[in-house]
């Protein structure tokens, strides 16, 4: 139970000692690159060619405005070394609401944790601002599945705090 003086803190974050009310552990931090629609598919090809990225999963946007439109990528998950990079088309679901007033492409930081509520509460207590409606959503149709909270930090970066393992439905190929 006692967690003090743990020799390695690799997967534990010192929440309490740093002023958080409750310690939360994060299983992954995945940068998500938002690409001007409909170029996410092209961007995925680029990251494969440029860096040898390996595509793990891809989930597509369920709706298109017109049949002739290209299907948009809600989230493509790429393995790059031991890290994961997410790529998505800029859509209302994926970005416009997440980025708030910001337009154009940008990088969102996806943080995975089993304790989304506490993680979001800690971030808000530290000075972050919940965006996109102010409520934790269940994220269907969004970039993340499971519980999702979106917090903008005081420096303009958007953090997407979500449950792990439910990222994207598998729509490989």
Q: Which residues of 63-93 are buried (b: 16+ CB within 10 A; e: fewer)?
A: eeeeeeeeebbbbbbbeeeeebbbbbbbbeb
Shortest distance (Å) from residue 125 CB to its own copies: 8
Work out the angle at residue 134's Cα, subtended by the Cα atoms of residues 89 and 13, and round it to the nearest 5 degrees: 80
- Interface with its own copies, residue 83, by CB under 8 A: yes
54 is a site residue for its own copies (CB under 8 A): yes
Given the complex with its own copies, which of 66 and 173 has the nearer CB atom?
173
| Cα gap 162→166, rounded to integer Å | 9
Give the rounded distance of the alpha carbon of 95 from its chain centre. Answer: 11
- In the list 3, 63, 103, 127, the residue contacting its own copies (rule: CB under 8 A) is 127
Minimum distance between the CB of residue 67 and its own copies, rounded to whole angstroms?
Answer: 26
**Closer residue to its own copies, CB minimum distance, 66 or 81:** 81
Q: Which of residues 104-123 bind its own copies (CB under 8 A)?
A: 104-107, 109, 111-112, 119, 122-123
């Amino acid at each position: 139970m006692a967690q003090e003086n743990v020799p390695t803190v690799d997967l534990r974050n010192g929440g309490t000692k740093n002023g958080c009310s409750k310690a939360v552990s994060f299983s992954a931090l995945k940068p998500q690159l938002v690409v001007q629609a409909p170029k996410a598919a092209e961007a995925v090809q680029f990251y494969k060619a440029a860096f040898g990225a390996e595509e793990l999963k891809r989930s597509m946007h369920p709706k298109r405005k017109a049949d002739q439109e290209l299907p948009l990528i809600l989230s493509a998950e790429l393995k790059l070394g031991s890290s994961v990079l997410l790529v998505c088309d800029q859509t209302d679901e994926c970005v416009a609401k997440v980025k708030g007033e910001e337009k154009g492409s940008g990088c969102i930081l996806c943080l995975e944790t089993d304790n989304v509520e506490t993680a979001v509460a800690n971030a808000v207590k530290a000075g972050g601002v919940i965006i996109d409606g102010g409520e934790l959503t269940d994220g269907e149709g969004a970039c993340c599945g499971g519980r999702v909270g979106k917090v903008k930090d005081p420096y303009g970066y958007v953090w997407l705090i979500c449950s792990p393992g439910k990222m994207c439905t598998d729509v490989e190929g």
